[in-house]
Chain A
Amino acid sequence: MELTTERLKRCDLVKATGRIDSQTAPQLEEAFRAITDDGRFKIVFNMVDVEFISSAGLRAMINAQKTCKRWNRGQLVLAAVPERIYETLDLTGFVPLFKFFDDAVKAVGSF
């Protein structure tokens, strides 16, 4: 999995490419944590190139969302979620917990 983080004016943009599984999920967690540790809680997670996500990845997303939403200071939003990934989010009841955008530009624009 490749991971990039971009600090924009009003939010941070995290993009993952490849597999998010028990091996790589800790890196995703770390990327989210680095942003929130810096006192920033508005995050776009661009999933356009995510090929696979297991519950390890879902846990990383949920934990980041909890941190971001605490005291209404921000949230984690999802951009360009592939169909298979969306189905997994739906199966586990995660869809109501996030806002979804078609692409990263729209997601960034929402903040």
Chain B
Amino acid sequence: MQSASHSPVGLRLTLPMDTEQELSFAGRFDSLAAISEFVGRAAEAARLDERAVYAVQLAVDEACSNIIEHAYGGEGRGDIDITCCIDGDGLTVVLRDYGRPFDPNSVPPPDVHASLEDRNGRGLGLYLMRQLMDEVRFEFTPDAGNVLTMVKRKQAAS
């Protein structure tokens, strides 16, 4: 597995039209830009449209921010392994971390119709992931870490 841990900014990648590409990133917020670039290129290679590419980048950013904050409890405590799988349907992104598991059902969804006073911004990350991606699956394994799988399918031609 290639490591991108030492060059989070200005990362140069040539992404071939492969079916699968894996990279490991340091669990720090300054990895987020490089992570966005990595999954963005995979989304383009999967022939997702511009809106879908952005959706993938945003969902993955939210997931990684949550991993750093909640699974690892802070920056610099572990890596995030990201695998992008391209196939005829679209793109599958698999994120693996080795931090604390959490129960996604324990996060109350935000009330997107609430007034300003009632908005606290909590739960937005998970909510965005679920809205933006076609599938969001969590798996917590005792020895192989936490695995988050997200799928974005190409729009059917109209």
Contact = CB atoms under 8 A, between A and B. Distances in A.
A104 B124 CA distance: 28
Interface stretch (A5-13, A39-47, A61-69): A61-69
Contacts of B54: 52, 84
B1 interface: no
Interface residues of A, number: 22
A59 B69 CA distance: 15
Given A91-B131, A97-B116, A22 B58 contact: no
A30 B57 CA distance: 25
Contact of B128 (A23, A52, A55, A62): A55
Interface residues of B, number: 29
Contacts of A84: 51, 54
B114 A93 contact: yes
A52 B29 contact: no
Interface string A56-94: 101100110110010000000000000010011001110
Contact of A88 (B32, B111, B128): B128
B58 A54 contact: yes
A59 B119 CA distance: 9
Interface stretch (B17-25, B60-68, B133-141): B60-68
Contact of A19 (B33, B114, B116, B121): B33
B121 A23 contact: no
A21 interface: yes
Contacts of B116: 62, 65-66, 69, 97
Contacts of B127: 92
23 contacts: A19-B32, A21-B29, A21-B33, A21-B65, A23-B32, A52-B54, A52-B58, A54-B61, A54-B65, A54-B128, A55-B62, A55-B125, A55-B128, A65-B116, A66-B116, A69-B116, A84-B51, A87-B51, A88-B128, A91-B112, A91-B131, A93-B113, A97-B116
User: Which 9 A-B pairs give the minimum distances between C-beta atoms?
Assistant: A93-B112, A23-B29, A59-B121, A55-B124, A22-B65, A22-B29, A21-B32, A84-B54, A54-B61
Interface of B: 29-30, 32-33, 36, 51, 54, 57-58, 61-62, 65, 68-69, 110-114, 116-117, 119, 121, 124-125, 127-128, 131-132
